[in-house]
Amino acid sequence: MLLIQRTPPGIFHHPATRLISRRAFTSSRVVRRLALSYDLHEPSPKQDGEQLGAPIVFLHGLFGSKQNNRSMSKALARDLRRPVYAVDLRNHGDSPHDPTHDYLHLANDVETFLEYHKLTEPTLIGHSMGAKVAMTVALRSPPKVANLIAVDNAPVDAALKSDFGGYIRGMRQIEEKGAKRQSDADEILKSYAPELPIRQFLLTNLTRPQGSEYLKFRIPVKYLADALDKMADFPFKDPEQVRFAKPALFVRGTKSHYMADETLPVIGRFFPLFQVVDVEGGHWVISENPEAFKTAVVEFLQQE
């Protein structure tokens, strides 16, 4: 059974989640917390009197959405007998748009999501950008997280592949040229993303606004273009000051460069109880090798 529930777009006004000022990393600033859209996947059929396990919160990567993790969320809910919340991060999917897009604000949105839905001791799973968001939440608020699964990213400052800038340019071209058909958009994008699976992934964000003959991206391309450099950063610099001393699994694609061996000592300083599993595939390892990824996740969580 798939139960879809979506929070209303906008800023939280619940007393526990209103706009607040808090100290974050090294400076104090007002943090704008957004209500995140999500899908809830529960195991089916649910047996009489069955007590489900602790929740899993699944965070997608840059240009992705909760839809990317639908199949994996269903499989994990089924195999682990745990509810899985697949979340749209700000400026993605059905969640609200905001010009501020950095790991501080992304993490605050997720922390608010956990508080608002009263999710205790969840597992956070995040891919790429979502991995850094999950790591940030775990390091900021260890009591709120039971364990962590970071997929193909590390807690380091590391430049994004130049491909991401190309994807942005391609998406802008699609809107500027006024593409009317998916095939027209795909043809424009070929110059920026030769690989068909990547084009298909990016074009999942393409929609036709009501009453318009032109296609538009549902993600705010300009906001995300302005945020690319911030997505390469990691907000914590000194593992002597903050540490997540609970189990953590780092899954990396064997053909990806985002988790080079040189990052492992840094991972170990921030996450001293970490494990690493290599899965055959590239950066989009969840979709490229779903069975191997699922096996790694299930085995890790069944140890707990």
Per the listing, tokens 């009317």 go with: 180
CA distances from 144 to 88, 148, 211 (A): 19, 11, 44
DSSP string, the chain: -EE--BPPSSB--SGGGS-EEEEETTEEEEE--BPPBEEEE--SSPPTT------EEEE--TT--GGGGHHHHHHHHHHHT--EEEEPPTTSTTSPP-S--SHHHHHHHHHHHHHHTT--SPEEEEETHHHHHHHHHHHH-GGG-SEEEEES--SS--PPPTHHHHHHHHHHHHHHTT--SHHHHHHHHTTT--SHHHHHHHHTTEE--TT-SS-EESS-HHHHHHTHHHHH--S---TTT----S-EEEEEETT-STT-GGGHHHHHHH-TTEEEEEESS-S-HHHHSHHHHHHHHHHHHHH-
Hey, what are 90's tokens? Answer: 């700000």
Reported as a single tens digit per residue, the pLDDT across 202-241 is 999 999 998 899 999 999 999 999 999 999 999 999 988 9
Q: Which residues are catalytic?
A: 128, 283
Give the pLDDT mean for 74-82: 96
Which residues in the chain are classed under CATH 3.40.50.1820?
A: 2-157+234-303
pTM: 0.89
Give the pLDDT mean for 181-199: 94
**Exposed/middle/buried for 35, CB within 10 Å: 0-12, 13-18, 19+?**
buried
Hey, what are 30's tokens? Answer: 């007002």
Assess whether pLDDT exceeds 60 at residue 24.
no
pLDDT at position 6: 59
Give the pLDDT mean for 149-169: 88
- Cα 172–Cα 175–Cα 180 angle in degrees, nearest 5: 145
pLDDT at position 42: 93
Reported as a single tens digit per residue, the pLDDT across 241-295 is 999 999 999 999 999 988 999 999 999 999 999 999 999 999 999 999 999 999 9
pLDDT at position 23: 33
CA–CA distance, 47 with 266 (Å, rounded to integer):
43
The answer to whether 15 and 7 have CB atoms below 8 angstroms apart is no
Architecture of domain 2-157+234-303: 3-Layer(aba) Sandwich (3.40)
Give the pLDDT mean for 35-49: 88
Reported as a single tens digit per residue, the pLDDT across 81-122 is 999 999 999 999 999 999 999 999 999 999 999 999 999 999
What share of the chain in percent tops pLDDT 90? 79
Enumerate residues 6+ apart whose C-beta is below 8 A from 157: 232, 233, 234
Reported as a single tens digit per residue, the pLDDT across 161-180 is 668 899 999 999 999 999 99
pLDDT at position 304: 66
The answer to whether 279 and 251 have CB atoms below 8 angstroms apart is yes
